[in-house]
Amino acid sequence: MLQEILSGIKRVHISCGNEIVRVENFSPDQKAEAESFASEVAKDAKSWGCYTEMELVNLRERLGIWTAEDEVKYKTDLDTICSLKVTYLDNFFLPSKDQVKKRIISALSTIDLSFTRKSEFWPLSCESIKQDSYFNHLFSSHKDPQGLSTAYRLSIRSESDIRSLRAKYAWSTIWGVCKSPFEIFGQSLNWLNPDQLSLTYWSKVYDSIHEAMEPPPSAILDDDIAVDGWFIKQNRKKQAEEKINILPNIKGGEVFLPVRNIKEQAAILDLNSSESKSVIKSRTRDMLRSTSLDEQDFSDVKRDRAMEQNKRK
């Protein structure tokens, strides 16, 4: 796989004709021409009876294939997967991570099924016609442009394959010596094919992890789910910090911030020091035991007061 990516020549198998076609990287001019052609076709597609994206949304809603409620649940399920990935990261060195992984795999399977319903009638959309026209134009000189176009798109490596390749010794050695796409592939970025761009992108993504102020343990870098969880957690922390930074300068020991959901709550709580987290847990227990509490009744306040009195003796 790596040698083919390095060469810039994809060997594409057209099953219907049992033919293997060598496809070299397309030039920026070829891509621009194909994009221009596809845009014109997309404009005409509307008059042929193809749907805009909004028209497809309305059609699916009208037929009961994908409703507004389905969309809300879909987004909620995506948020759940993100939270599970963070949980997987937090339990990475514990036996419980295996159970979390099973839940993630099950949730991803459900999302895939939902996405299939959500994408119903996509081939009838103007955007789908535009994508097909783009690739068909790139292969217009071939005897079977549509067949080669389809086979080429199917040959593009998955994100999982590219992330796995990034970690392999053969590529990591090359990337460790030189991080210039031109030096590695012999072509500038605007010439690279999808596999080359994806491999470059993910290599830079993992570089950013190594360069982080608090990078995760190296074992986590070999697990895609854990890495996803790390990025989600970092992003939530950043959003929570931004939420705090927009507040005016407040003097005092405690600042209360409104949150919209459990995800935001967890991110903001995570900004607290270990000592502050301990106080929060202690006060939560106190409030669960009593329906009415004054600040002086909290266990941590009583403890601090007792320590202060002991100092005075």
pLDDT digits (tens, 9 = 90+) for 59-89: 999 999 999 999 999 999 999 999 999 999 9
pLDDT on residue 71: 95
Residues 216-240: what's their mean pLDDT?
92
Number of structural domains found in the chain: 2
Q: How far is the C-alpha of 110 from the C-alpha of 84, rounded, in Å?
A: 14
Q: Does residue 28 fall inside a structural domain?
A: no
Choose one of 174, 194, 211: the last residue of a domain: 211
Give residue-wise pLDDT tens across range 4-16: 999 999 999 987 7
The predicted model scores a pTM of 0.77
Instruction: Name the burial class of residue 100, with classes exposed (0-12), middle (13-18) and buried (19+) by CB atoms within 10 angstroms of its CB.
Output: buried
Q: How far is the C-alpha of 184 from the C-alpha of 170, rounded, in Å?
A: 13
CA angle 28-31-35, nearest 5°?
A: 135
Its domain, for residue 186, covers 158-211
Residues 209-226: what's their mean pLDDT?
93
Q: Does residue 191 fall inside a structural domain?
A: yes
Q: Does residue 179 fall inside a structural domain?
A: yes
Q: Does residue 146 fall inside a structural domain?
A: no
Q: Does residue 309 fall inside a structural domain?
A: yes
